[in-house]
Amino acid sequence: MRISKAALLVVIALTVPILVELRTVLAWVNVELTVLESAVLGMTMILAILIWALWPQNGRGDPSRSG
C-alpha cells in the first residue's frame, strides 16, 4: 500500500466535499449532473483512489512510518 489504511479512509472521506462542490462547479460550465451521475462519478473517484493506494509501490509493502 502507498498509504496507511487510516490515511486512505481520510482521503476517501475528503472525496465527499470535492464531489458535492464539483457538482456546483460543473454547472457553471453547463455540465449538469443528476444525483445518480454524481454517485457514479463518486464511486469512480473512490475506485481510482483505491487502485492507486493498493497498487504496490516499487514492490514495497506497507509504508512503515505513516500513521
Partner 1 sequence: MSNVYIDQFPAEAKVIRAAFYSSFLALALGGVFGIIQTLHRTDFLRFMDSVDYYTVLTAHGVFLVISFTIFFLVGIFTWAVTTSLDRGLEDIRFTWGWYSLMAIGITMTGVAILAGFTDAIDMSASVLFTFYAPLQAHPLFYLGLVLFVVGTWVAGVDWFRSWWAWKAENPDERIPLPTFMVLTTMLMWYIATLGVAAAILLFLLPWSLGLIETVNPLLTRTLFWFFGHPVVYFWLMPAYMMWYVMLPKFSGGKLFSDPLARVVFVLFLILSVPTGIHHQYLDPGIAEGFKFIAMTNTMFLLLPSLLTAFTVVASMEHGARQRGGEGYFGWLKALPWRDPVFTGMALAGLMFAAAGFSGMINAGMNINYLVHNTFWVVGHFHLTVGTAVALTFMAVTYWFLPQVTGKALWSRSVALGQVVVWFVGMTFMSNAMHRAGLLGVPRRTAEPQYEGFEFQAAVGSIGELDAQIALGGVLLTISLGMFFANVVGTALNGRSDDLPANEYAGALSGPDDAPLVLDNLKLWTAIAVVLVIFAYTFPLLSIIDRGGLFGPEVIPFPLTVESATTLGFALETAASTSFESAGEIATSALTAVMR
Q: Which residues bind partner 1 (CB under 8 A)?
A: 3-7, 9-10, 13, 16-17, 20-21, 23-24, 27, 32, 35, 63, 65-67
> What number of residues does the chain have?
67
| Residue whose CB is less far from partner 1, 59 or 67 | 67
Residue with cell 493498493: 54
Residue type at 67?
G
Residue 40 DSSP symbol: H
Grid coordinates belonging to 35: 444525483
| Residue whose CB is less far from partner 1, 17 or 59 | 17
Tell the smallest beta-carbon distance from residue 32 to partner 1 (Å): 7
